[in-house]
């Protein structure tokens, strides 16, 4: 009985991780890719206009701190009176934002 319970727990955990991976990719595609591109390079019309960084560049990723990336996604990014990136606090949970930061880090490993 104990083994069955443990096996069930492992399967449920794996399903939860798989669902989170799917959700983060969907969130990236829905919320981020129009500017940052599907591959994180920022090579889109809107990305070029906003001056987004290339997240496949190791130097860019080294300079990007997780807490700052989290804050920018949650609170948005302004330069003076101009909004460069809207806040996503009302759209994404803290866990979803953390998952996106991890997702961005993976662009540098491809």
Q: Summarize pLDDT for 80-107 with one digit per residue, the tens.
A: 988 899 999 999 999 999 999 999 999 9
What is the spatial distance between Cα 110 and Cα 105, in angstroms, rounded to a whole number?
10
Domains contained in the chain, CATH given: 2-107 (1.10.760)
40 within 8 A of 105, measured Cβ to Cβ: no
Closest by Cα among 72, 81, 74, 30 to 52: 72
Q: Summarize pLDDT for 43-89 with one digit per residue, the tens.
A: 999 999 999 999 999 999 999 999 999 999 999 999 898 889 999 99
- Helices 94-107, 66-75: inter-axial angle, 10-degree rounding: 130
């Amino acid at each position: 009985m104990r083994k069955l319970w443990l096996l069930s727990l492992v399967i449920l955990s794996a399903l939860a991780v798989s669902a989170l991976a799917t959700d983060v990719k969907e969130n990236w595609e829905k919320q981020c890719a129009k500017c940052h591109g599907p591959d994180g390079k920022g090579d889109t019309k809107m990305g070029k206009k906003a001056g987004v960084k290339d997240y496949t560049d190791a130097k860019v990723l080294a300079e990007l701190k997780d807490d700052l990336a989290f804050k920018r996604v949650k609170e948005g990014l302004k330069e003076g009176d101009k909004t460069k990136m809207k806040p996503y606090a009302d759209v994404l949970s803290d866990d979803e934002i953390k998952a996106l930061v991890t997702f961005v880090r993976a662009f540098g490993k491809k």
